[in-house]
Chains A and B, each alone.
Chain A
Amino acid sequence: MSKWKPLEKMKILGKKYPRIDGAEKVTGRARYTYDQFKEGMLYGAILGSRYPAAKIVKIDDSMVWSLPGVKAVLTDVHPTGRVRYVGEEIAAVAATTPEILGEALRLFRVEYEKLPFTLYLEEAMKDEAPRVFPRRSNVNKPRIREEGNVEQGFAQAEVVLEDTFRTQVQIQTPLESHGSMVYWDGDELIIYDSTQAVHGVREGIAKMLDMPLHKVRVICHHMGGGFGSKLQPGIYTVIAARLAKQANAPVRLMLDRQLEFLTTGNRPDSLSRIKMGAKRDGTITAFFAKTYGTAGIGNGAGVRLPIVYSIPNVRHEHHDVYTNAGAARPFRAPGCPQASFAMEQMMDEMAEKLGMDPLQFRLKNDSNPTRQKEWMIGAERFGWHRRKVTPASDPGPIKRGMGLGASIWWPGGRGTKASMKIYSDGSVEVFCGTQDLGTGTRTHIAAVAAEELGLELKQIKVHIGDSNYPRSGASGGSTTSPSVAPAIKNTAEKARQELGKILAEHWNVSPEAIIFSDGYVIASGEAKQRLSWKEACGLLETDVLEVHGEWSEGLSSSGVAGCQFAEVEVDTDTGKIRVLRIVAVADCGLILDRLTTESQVNGGIIQGISYALFEERLFDPQTGAMVNPNFETYKIVGTMETPEIEVILFDEPERGVIGIGEPPTIPTSGAIANAVYNAIGVRIKSLPMTPDKVLQALANQKA
């Protein structure tokens, strides 16, 4: 297996080129799961629990059945009948039209025995709080991380700071909701699913339905966003399959926006109590954190502290806390934005206490050589030297400030398999059971194949998003590119070798002499033979050349660094924070496509701004229902909130392909918070940083 060519020899990789499915997407021809239709298809929906904690005494579906157009009903979708959050699946129905479906859902008569519930992190932690699981404390046993000796570290410290930070629950809420269109073909189940893992869903659904793997097929040609929430098989798919069986008809079941908000995952909230010690020279000596977070009825609310900076003595105790809410799921850089919001503010507080510039303080405590370079590049481009030293020094009610934060990520990827077919007319097909979440995977596959075969992008037909194709893992954790790109390279290389053998024989040269370049196959050296790609493939006559390849070592790596600089404007009359400008330096390894890479970084930053300023799941304390399961009151950054964003891609092609999706969303909220402090001289220690909090903080400062 050979290494990647040097960047200067690349024709496609590392360059800017539009995605290959762009035209399909801008014309509406791209068919998502939500767009799948089959003759006789029914519309399915799930009835969610109305209460956050209850026993289901009885579900009467007789009214539902009496509505003309209702074709299938399930009242046994909950395994125990003991529900633990509003929206938890308790029944389902399929009907002939969306209108009838909406009406049918309102005709279930459900008798509940209501039970006490607890909704918020800090309330659920109290001894008297109702238990989410009767035999378990709401507060889980701690997970402890320890490095060095934290007592000694604090003893060495000359300055010790303590502070507390809070972050909110954020919902992935992709625009295409979770859901499936399913139909039975005999005893085989065909599933169109909006998923980040066609193979994972096949395995999961087969297990849940107790079916052999080969009788389940999962397809996802295009998907409308996931951000981590679509990595697992969905109960909605099982429900759709059962409804389809009962009605003997295809069923499309897409969650409505409310259930999307309630049941398909979230980024857990956090409470972080932090103590940090440093020497006068700016060396951090010790870090202690006690953190809590709620993943609803699930686990995995960890806060990845300390994040980014190198500290010799660390102790971190974390407790997951149960609440009556839907379980968390991975959300772009799980555990990291929560940690970064707290960490970056602690760093700034300490820098201020030590009388150091925040950037200098970071440089002193950041051991990552890539980021050391990135800090300088970003600071220069951003104009960090123009940051005012004294916070809140602008005259007038509208004040500006600057702040910064760092990003980090760990996983690489592995494990992808792929296959390639080359036909005698020169056409090329690549098959890989991965999926394109909008990151550009389909395009990257074409790019790697074209680069390796010396062809153009448009000559490669890419087939992905089908569990019939060679296995690839879930697209999550920024693992897709480092996992898929090497597999495609390996597959293309094998194809080249096979084709090379045929041509070597044809020209009677050694196979090593065959070169694939610019649409030609060339015998290098003395032979000076040359055939166009198409002519060369003609030698295959009617045979199809089919090769299989897989991920291999040395073409991708893990570990990502980056940093961001933010400039904000705070209106002290209204409490509103406006982000004016973000400069991001993103660690990219070998870039597959500069255009889609920039888009990913933009996206991470914009979701970070949204997290910093707007988004928050809000539960009504009286009913346990979410008051804002919609895009009116669950607020998301729109065009008017989008600042000027400058993305600087920091290439290190020698590292091979790395994943870049998660890191850019990590530091944004912390960088903004630090900029807000720089603007108004008050720290906002809780997310989202909404006008009410800013006005309150300003009022407290005055008082």
Chain B
Amino acid sequence: MYNFEYLNPTSLEEVSEVLAHSDGETVLLAGGTDLLDRLKEHLLRPRQVVNLKNVRELYTIERNEGLTIGALVTIADLAADAYIQENYPALSQAARSIATPQIRNMGTVGGNLAQRPRCWYFRGVEYRCLKKGGRKCYAVEGLNKYHAIMGGGPCYIVHPSDLAPVLIAYGARVTISGANGTREIPLEQFFQLPAKDLKKENVLNENEMITRITLPPQPENTYSLYLKFKELESHDFAVVSVAVVLHTRKKRITDASLVLGGVAPIPWKIPEAGALLKGKELTEPAIQAVAEQSVKGSDPLPQNGYKVHLTRNLVRRALTEIQQQL
């Protein structure tokens, strides 16, 4: 790890002050589980590391008509929150599926959304890949069993966040603050494909940060589920994950949201799921149709074709599980 200056602001105002003086070599430190990894691998060399853990405003879990979650709320606290378990159960499931007990005590909601990809070429300092200013994506001709089957190109990372697919499925919005003020956008629009910007996975500018997530209230008879497939149950990122949120009235679906994790460089929304399910009951043919739709247009690399089967099967399994609750 290279040396850096450590800044310890205690309010958002001060964070803005720091970010205003940043010349693109400032990084924000929350839980540290991703940042320290990259610092140790010499993937970045910041001048300043700004510790956010003393900014109290970032810790709230606030119930309003929906729910506001501060960026510094830990994954463990998120998983343990009774209100979330009751009202946004898939979010609890996703939080519990993340990493390990130790990392859940450290990692934060904001960090989980802004974390960098786990692609082994991106993480290895020896590969000058596209994301690091190089000229090729090593996954294309290299080892790609965990890489993108959708939305890839020219870089084939998958987004590693477990929270993002669920939050998007619930219709979450994200608040971004920076030296130039604050904006709020749908979380779905927070992420962007490599085709748009190779160097980063989201729209955060260098002098910006996530401050909170806002979840809209869910109507009665909402059913939601997060299903994560990992090779090692003990400690692993998703190979494929499925977030489903269904709003129903008298067993009929009034709205449906399906977002996949682990398959694309961003949380991958299947917008057609809504149209396929709206106004219908969750029958076998409907489930089958959504499962097929979820992998339509997938374009696997030589070693990750299995992820297409896996995705289709997991979507079917997730919807079948909900069907049994209905």
Q: Inside 8 A of B234's CB, which chain A residues have their CB?
A: 637-641
Q: Which of A637-654 contact B (CB under 8 A)?
A: 637-641
Inter-chain contact B232/A638, CB cutoff 8 Å? yes
Inter-chain contact A635/B236, CB cutoff 8 Å? yes
Closest to B236 in A: A635
Q: Inside 8 A of A640's CB, which chain B residues have their CB?
A: 232-234
Pick the interface stretch among B71-79, B120-128, B215-223, B282-290.
Answer: B120-128
CB of B49, distance to nearest CB on chain A (Å): 14
Q: Inside 8 A of B304's CB, which chain A residues have their CB?
A: 692
A611-640 CB mask vs B (1 if < 8 Å, else 0) is 000100010111101011000110101111
B104-146 CB mask vs A (1 if < 8 Å, else 0) is 0000000000000010110010110000000000100111010
CB of B30, distance to nearest CB on chain A (Å): 20
Whether B303 is near chain A, meaning CB under 8 Å from some CB there, is yes
Q: How far is the CA of A621 from the CA of B121 in the complex (A)?
A: 12
CB of B246, distance to nearest CB on chain A (Å): 20
Candidates A103, A620, A632; contact of B2 at CB < 8 Å: A103
Candidates B124, B138, B143, B229; contact of A574 at CB < 8 Å: B229
Whether B239 is near chain A, meaning CB under 8 Å from some CB there, is yes
Q: Inside 8 A of A625's CB, which chain B residues have their CB?
A: 124, 126-127
Candidates B2, B126, B309; contact of A623 at CB < 8 Å: B126
Inter-chain contact A614/B232, CB cutoff 8 Å? yes
Whether A575 is near chain B, meaning CB under 8 Å from some CB there, is yes
Inter-chain contact B310/A691, CB cutoff 8 Å? yes
Secondary structure of the B contact surface, majority rule: loop
B238-267 CB mask vs A (1 if < 8 Å, else 0) is 010000000000000000000000000000
CB of B156, distance to nearest CB on chain A (Å): 14
Q: A574-B310, A691-B310, A696-B306 are in contact. Are A99 and B3 (CB under 8 A)?
A: yes
The residue in A614, A692, A696 that gathers the most chain B C-beta atoms within 10 A of its C-beta is: A692
Inter-chain contact B232/A690, CB cutoff 8 Å? no
Candidates B2, B126, B143, B231; contact of A576 at CB < 8 Å: B231
Q: How far is the CA of A285 from the CA of B313 in the complex (A)?
A: 45
CB of A449, distance to nearest CB on chain B (Å): 40
Whether A106 is near chain B, meaning CB under 8 Å from some CB there, is yes
CB of B38, distance to nearest CB on chain A (Å): 13
Q: How far is the CA of A568 from the CA of B57 in the complex (A)?
A: 49
Candidates A575, A622, A641, A692; contact of B141 at CB < 8 Å: A622
CB of A109, distance to nearest CB on chain B (Å): 15
Whether A50 is near chain B, meaning CB under 8 Å from some CB there, is yes
Size category, B interface:
35 or more
Q: How far is the CA of A110 from the CA of B19 in the complex (A)?
A: 37
CB of B134, distance to nearest CB on chain A (Å): 12
Q: Inside 8 A of B239's CB, which chain A residues have their CB?
A: 691
Candidates A50, A106, A575, A690; contact of B42 at CB < 8 Å: A106
Q: Inside 8 A of B142's CB, which chain A residues have their CB?
A: 620-622, 627
Q: How far is the CA of A691 from the CA of B237 in the complex (A)?
A: 15
Q: Which of A682-698 contact B (CB under 8 A)?
A: 690-692, 695-696
Q: Inside 8 A of A691's CB, which chain B residues have their CB?
A: 229, 231, 239, 306, 310
CB of B158, distance to nearest CB on chain A (Å): 13
Inter-chain contact B126/A50, CB cutoff 8 Å? yes
Inter-chain contact A695/B126, CB cutoff 8 Å? no
Q: A50-B126, A621-B141, A622-B138 are in contact. Are A695 and B235 (CB under 8 A)?
A: no
CB of A25, distance to nearest CB on chain B (Å): 20
Candidates B1, B118, B145; contact of A99 at CB < 8 Å: B1
Q: How far is the CA of A696 from the CA of B309 in the complex (A)?
A: 9
Q: How far is the CA of A692 from the CA of B147 in the complex (A)?
A: 13
Inter-chain contact B229/A628, CB cutoff 8 Å? no
CB of A614, distance to nearest CB on chain B (Å): 7
Inter-chain contact B313/A692, CB cutoff 8 Å? no
Inter-chain contact A576/B120, CB cutoff 8 Å? no
Whether A102 is near chain B, meaning CB under 8 Å from some CB there, is yes
Whether A573 is near chain B, meaning CB under 8 Å from some CB there, is yes
Q: Which of B277-310 contact A (CB under 8 A)?
A: 303-306, 309-310
Q: Inside 8 A of A103's CB, which chain B residues have their CB?
A: 1-3
Whether A699 is near chain B, meaning CB under 8 Å from some CB there, is yes
Inter-chain contact B310/A633, CB cutoff 8 Å? no
Q: How far is the CA of A614 from the CA of B121 in the complex (A)?
A: 20
Q: Inside 8 A of B306's CB, which chain A residues have their CB?
A: 575, 691-692, 695-696
Q: A574-B314, A641-B234 are in contact. Are A102 and B127 (CB under 8 A)?
A: no
Inter-chain contact A102/B1, CB cutoff 8 Å? yes
Q: Inside 8 A of A627's CB, which chain B residues have their CB?
A: 120-121, 124, 142-143
Inter-chain contact B313/A573, CB cutoff 8 Å? yes
The residue in B143, B303, B304 that gathers the most chain A C-beta atoms within 10 A of its C-beta is: B143
CB of A147, distance to nearest CB on chain B (Å): 41
Q: Inside 8 A of A576's CB, which chain B residues have their CB?
A: 229, 231
Whether B96 is near chain A, meaning CB under 8 Å from some CB there, is no
A283-300 CB mask vs B (1 if < 8 Å, else 0) is 000000000000000000
Whether B53 is near chain A, meaning CB under 8 Å from some CB there, is no
Whether B317 is near chain A, meaning CB under 8 Å from some CB there, is yes
Inter-chain contact B127/A620, CB cutoff 8 Å? yes
CB of A112, distance to nearest CB on chain B (Å): 13
Q: Inside 8 A of B126's CB, which chain A residues have their CB?
A: 50, 623, 625
CB of B121, distance to nearest CB on chain A (Å): 7
Inter-chain contact B303/A692, CB cutoff 8 Å? yes
Q: Inside 8 A of B313's CB, which chain A residues have their CB?
A: 397, 573-574
Q: A99-B1, A574-B229, A622-B138 are in contact. Are A699 and B124 (CB under 8 A)?
A: no
Closest to B2 in A: A103
Q: How far is the CA of A99 from the CA of B306 in the complex (A)?
A: 42
Q: Inside 8 A of B237's CB, which chain A residues have their CB?
A: 632
Closest to B125 in A: A106
Q: Inside 8 A of B235's CB, which chain A residues have their CB?
A: 632, 638
Q: How far is the CA of A622 from the CA of B129 in the complex (A)?
A: 12
Q: How far is the CA of A575 from the CA of B239 in the complex (A)?
A: 12
Inter-chain contact A628/B120, CB cutoff 8 Å? yes
Q: Inside 8 A of A99's CB, which chain B residues have their CB?
A: 1, 3
Q: How far is the CA of A32 from the CA of B239 in the complex (A)?
A: 37
Q: How far is the CA of A614 from the CA of B231 in the complex (A)?
A: 8
* 26 A-B pairs with C-beta separation under 8 A: A99-B1, A99-B3, A102-B40, A102-B42, A103-B2, A103-B3, A397-B313, A575-B306, A575-B310, A576-B231, A614-B232, A620-B138, A621-B142, A622-B142, A625-B127, A628-B120, A633-B120, A638-B233, A638-B234, A640-B234, A641-B232, A691-B231, A691-B239, A695-B306, A695-B309, A699-B309
Known: A575-B310, A641-B232, A695-B310. 16 other contacts (CB 8 A): A102-B1, A573-B313, A573-B314, A573-B316, A573-B317, A618-B143, A620-B121, A622-B141, A623-B127, A627-B121, A628-B120, A635-B232, A638-B232, A641-B233, A692-B145, A699-B309
The 5 closest A-B pairs by CB, nearest first: A638-B234, A640-B233, A573-B313, A692-B306, A627-B120
